Amino acid sequence: MRKTLVVFTALAAQAFAGGFFLQLGNPEASDEARKLGAVVTVKAAGCHDPAKARVTATAIGVVNGEHRSVPLEVKNLSEPGMFAVIGKWPVEGKWVVRLEARNDEQFTNTLIAAGAGGLDRLHARAGMKQFHDADVDAMLK
């Protein structure tokens, strides 16, 4: 009984502690991001120190049946844990932007469909387990 109570208490503490996730934003809503030419803003959120978060971004696409990868620049904004993603991918083909973030031992990632008109932030996929190539390929279809 006592062991069960300890396990339950530990699980409850994790559930209420929150998680680590990324909030996507419109760069037009931030003068700072707009001046940098950002395609999206990203806020590290959850129960952690946002100033320690590290974010990387890559555009992954298929052009004429060939897979391509374009690294995107991620710049810290003045608010701790807030980032601007900067870069371009070719107009041709289908594209997905992969965001990966780490904060100490915490990990999260997000996939966002991308096109000539920008990013589809409303239909992004997020998860705490790393997305695989099959997940990216499914979004590219």
Boundaries of every domain in the chain:
18-140
CA distances from 21 to 42, 69, 96, 102 (A): 10, 24, 18, 10
> Which tokens sit at 37?
């030419």
pLDDT at 19 (0 to 100)? 85
Mean pLDDT score, 12-23: 65
Cβ burial, residue 99 (10 Å; 0-12/13-18/19+): buried
Q: What is the pLDDT of residues 44-95, one digit of tens each?
A: 998 778 889 999 999 999 999 999 999 999 999 999 999 999 999 999 999 9
How many angstroms separate the CA atoms of 110 and 103, rounded? 15
Say what percent of the chain tops pLDDT 90. 76
Cβ burial, residue 98 (10 Å; 0-12/13-18/19+): buried
